[in-house]
A and B are shown apart, each in its own frame.
Chain A
Amino acid sequence: MKRRRLVGIIMIVLIALLSLLLASAGTAAGSERLLSPSLEHPAGTDTMGRDLAGRIAYGVLVSFSIALPVSVISILLGITLSFAFSVSGFPTIPFLMLSDTMKSLPPVLLALFLNALSGPGMLKLIVALTVGNVPNIARLCHSRMMVLRSDGPSLAALSMGVGRIKVFMTHMLPFLLPYLGTEAVSIFSASILTEASLSYLGCGVPPMIPSLGSILAEARPVMLSAPWMIAFPAVILALIGIALEMIISGSSETDTASH
């Protein structure tokens, strides 16, 4: 199990490093439209004659730079919420009811709405993806804190007059982090898919920035005559997804399918 997680992490790091090396937005060259893969263009060229390998690598970096902040903010949010849940005066039930109402606003919907208000943008995408995850994070933290709050060590420490923050840091947070970590990886994975879908629709990252979704949108009309335009981004997306899935299922401390 541990080994599976390690393989997943190595795959992700390799993909990220390779993308850093190869990434380029490419220059349009009218004479080199839709060339099939060759030594010079390992993934062929696109409808405007740009090198596809460089654009795919750029797209991977864009995906990562959106999914990473979303996951990090989600973890921080989870820690803050958990601390709030551990304070006895916090209105937990009303808060959960309020956050549950956001369950009916999935990230795609929210992102499309924000897009209708003021156009595409990276920051807006990050906001939409993060806000869409709040109900799940809140539920997860709540169910963990219900257990941790009535656990022996934290009750003992509290009764001996140890401060709330200290009890939270030493007796709750270490047991919470593995769950939040696993959740963050699945949020990372979901964010990459959602970003690709939104960019495919033209409502994700701004059109001048290459992204996996917009490359695939350009590939849609020529997918039968230039199958490499679909094949390469698809393989990369699948590899990223499988690597992340290996990390999630390899994290044996937590039960990922239970929520």
Chain B
Amino acid sequence: MTSSRERPGWRRLDGVDWSMVIFVALVCMAATGIRGSGRNLDYWANFTVFVGRFLPPDWSVLPDVGWAMLETARIALVATAVAAVASLPLALAASRTVSPWWIAIPARLLLNAVRSVPALVWAVLAVAITGPNALAGCLALSGYSAGYLAKFFSESIDATDQWPARSLRAMDANAIQAFRWGTWPQLRTQLASHGLWMLEYNLRSAAIVGYVGAGGVGLLLQTYQEYGDWDRFGVVLIAILVLVTIIDWAGQRVRQLWNPSQHIPAGG
């Protein structure tokens, strides 16, 4: 048998190496198709003039921005909670280790369909149904997030080590008991982590869906852009940056709390 050292260089590449080679080749091919408008523009001058309009920020709108941010946070929280609850049965249906193929495949197709519609299109649809308000934002982000969370959850379920549950079954625990004490403890933190990621994502998305009337700070962004109030627009961007930074920091702290393996193992 030929050892890996005796093979020619290209035959020593494994699946990951080949994936990287193909990825780089695709990037090179894609880059050749990216072109500008063809007009003779001074990009740097355009950039500096546009950014200059944001300065100095008009802090007088801060109270309005604060209330709008609060509404954005509300939309994101409620939408994430609704999506988390709705996605659990969908995830179980789409899981290959839990559901038979004739349920899993249609469920996966449904999830693909839900995810292929961008959040902004969901928002347009929701505004058409409920009118321009925060409820539209909630509905839009709930539908969109449920598609994502269900995919993440079902992949987590499929990737879970089945051995703990099997070993409990070998000691006569029933299927639900084995899932509860063998599988669920492994899943719990992952599902919560996915939910937290979705909340962070929705806080950003909730700021955008307001552009089409679905409530929150996006509505202010749209108004300030319409009237060219870039100094006020800048205040909203700063507020979003602050909120996202706080959420990012808080998310890290919460994940640290959830991960018991960060304790130092005792010897023995």
Do A and B come from the same complex? Answer: no
Residues on A lying within 8 angstroms of B by beta carbon are none
